[in-house]
Amino acid sequence: MEMIRDNAPETGPKYPHLEQLFRRAIEDGTLTPGDKLPPLRQASWEAGCSLGTMARVYSALERQGLVTSEVGRGTFVKEPDSLTANVILPPGSGGSADLSMINLVQNEIHHSQAENLVRQAMARAAEKLPSVMITGYGDGSGHHEMKPRLMPLLDPSLQDLNPGDLILTHGVQHALYTILSRMAGKGDGVAVEPLSYPGIRAIIAQHGLTCHSVETDEDGILPDSLDMVCRDGRVRLLLTSPTGQNPTGITTSLERRQAICEVARRRDLLIVEDDIYGHLYPESPPPYAALLPEQSIYLTGLSKRVAPALRVGLALVPTRQNLLMAQTITTQCWMVSPLLAAAAADIAERDDQLSKMADDCIARSKARAATLSKRLGGLVQGIEACRPHAWITLPEGVTDEMLEPIAKSHGVLITEGYRFSNRIIADHGHIRVALLSCPTDRQFELGIERLALALEQIRQQAEPAPDMSFV
């Protein structure tokens, strides 16, 4: 099996490496439900390990509910009910019934005004929506009457562009899925940052595409690395979040963005930019759609700006890809509900209220980043860039998988860093903390205090026991 042979560790303990290799392959779709794992003897030979080590790996996968063993037939990838959801979020993070548990996992950005804003916008939309939009079907790209009203939700540098190039989707996730289903073919390559929103890796795997991780530094994607990936692989698209990148928080400079555009021109690369957090970074450089409009798709939505229930995404798409995307949406779901689109348009026209909500979020995120830095010190990377989330480097000897259950036992949920990795062998030395998921500052402070206690518990457990022997 090539996956084992190509990624077998040359040095160090083999069991944790192999267990992680198989688990990641199952989670990201490299191994799909129903696939048969190789016999133990073959797998151990490919990995260069003992039969007993590989048996431990298979047993661990079975305990985790990822595979099932059938006597006389072999070991097969299982299809648990929550496997797809767990690719994006840890189990149990989506609204736990345990109110004592503080959730720092999901980037739910709480606004005190959001609920009333959505309810009122839905009521106004229902009252004013023309009968023809209620009783009839619209275009796959969205009702054209709505588009000019929605343009204020885009980056300021894009608001004077043609509203006809705007396509409505059911959120950014739906837009990404639609783009990959129509603008890349099976076996094509997609360039991504080495760390990104876990849903991206899941979409790429489900479409049978190849994920190419590009090297980055503190300013984002390295142009030379992107150029090399495009030269060596059949890469058609770059999926990137250059503003408030998830999970690192990096915002790429204008100079670096211009260098990325040069590579895209030379390699005929389509840039797909997820700008879902752009409203929290008003000082950021213009998006790729302003720098290279003919080769860039710009994505944003209302789930982070207002509320997740308002599933309306906006895709600014070049003319030559616009019809393809609209046709694909028609085959998927026909159209975005005009009622939802009208509510989004109603909210988009309340610019003063949206600006005030964004300013409030930025102020809260800065205050909470300061709280995090004060309690965890130098573990927080790029403290000035922290807005919706913070990327935390764990102390030496501490892994994300070690910390997560201990943090949970202290009453706080965190996201392990490996979930964001687009490489087969993930880094386990980081966690992500959502800064704006807690409704109150006090709840956030309590969550960070519990996280610090969990780290302290691990440190104490690692200390050697005092020598009690007598000479």
Residues 92 and 162 in one domain: no
pLDDT for 467 equals 57
Residue whose entry in the numeric block shows the structure tokens 């431990």: 56
Residues 153 and 220 in one domain: yes
For residue 310, being part of any structural domain is answered with yes
Residue 274: closest CA among 294, 254, 253, 303: 303
Residues 322 and 377 in one domain: no
Q: What residue ranges of the chain have pLDDT lower than 70?
A: 1-2, 8-10, 79-99, 233, 424, 464-471
pLDDT for 92 equals 59
Residues 265 and 177 in one domain: yes
Residues 140 and 7 in one domain: no
Residues 328 and 389 in one domain: no
Q: What is the sign, positive or negative, of the torsion defined by CA atoms of 96, 98, 104, 109? A: positive
Question: Per the omega criterion (within 30 degrees of 0), is the bond before 247 cis?
Answer: yes
pLDDT for 81 equals 43
Count of domains for the chain: 3
pLDDT for 83 equals 41
- Inter-CA distances, 465 with 117, 385, 454, 460, 462, Å: 57, 40, 19, 10, 9
Residues 359 and 450 in one domain: yes
Boundaries of domain holding 218: 131-349
Show the tokens assigned to 37.
Answer: 């794992």
Last residue of a domain, one of 349, 366, 396: 349
Residues 211 and 151 in one domain: yes
For residue 413, being part of any structural domain is answered with yes
**Beta strands 380-381; 415-416: pairing state:** unpaired
Strands (DSSP E) along 382-429, which ranges?
Answer: 389-393, 412-413, 415-416
For residue 122, being part of any structural domain is answered with no
Q: Are the beta carbons of 81 and 91 closer than 8 angstroms?
A: no
pLDDT for 73 equals 82
CA-based angle 15:200:189, to the nearest 5? 90
pLDDT for 410 equals 96
Residues 170 and 302 in one domain: yes
Amino acid at 240: T
pLDDT for 356 equals 95
Residues 147 and 103 in one domain: no
Residues 221 and 295 in one domain: yes
